[in-house]
Amino acid sequence: MAKGVILVGHGSRDPLWRAPIEAVAARLAASQPKVATRCAYLELQQPDVPAAAADLAQLGVREVTLVPMFLGTGKHARADLPRLLDQVRAEHPEVAFTLQPSVGEDPRLLDLLARIAAE
């Protein structure tokens, strides 16, 4: 696989918290079988971003997009993820890593949330 995606979540002590992100990963993997898909967490759960990046690099993936699964753009999205992006780029110079904006900044998601709220 030449391309990969890391869905990045916050993490929680509650193992059920990760179910929605893993559901997105499963849907992505089913709809895009040629894209290596991983989940990673910033706190309290594994794998973390460096471990997920290392896994994809070891598979031979050469383009990886990190997708912050956050509704808002808080400290994790503004500071922690760019720092982690620099780290994985240094650890895996053969891989092109890019960081998308948080999913909550996408107008399509905001429209969907508004429709759900109106039901």
Give the pLDDT of residue 14. Answer: 84
pLDDT digits (tens, 9 = 90+) for 59-97: 999 999 999 998 877 676 667 889 999 999 999 999 999
Q: Which residues are catalytic?
A: 10
Give the pLDDT of residue 74. Answer: 65
Dist CA 94 CA 96 (whole Å): 7
Dist CA 21 CA 18 (whole Å): 6
Dist CA 22 CA 41 (whole Å): 11
Instruction: Identify the CATH number of the domain defined by range 3-118.
Output: 3.40.50.1400
pTM: 0.91
Return the domain boundaries, the chain: 3-118
pLDDT digits (tens, 9 = 90+) for 22-65: 999 999 999 999 999 999 998 778 899 999 999 999 999 999 99
Give the pLDDT of residue 38. Answer: 96
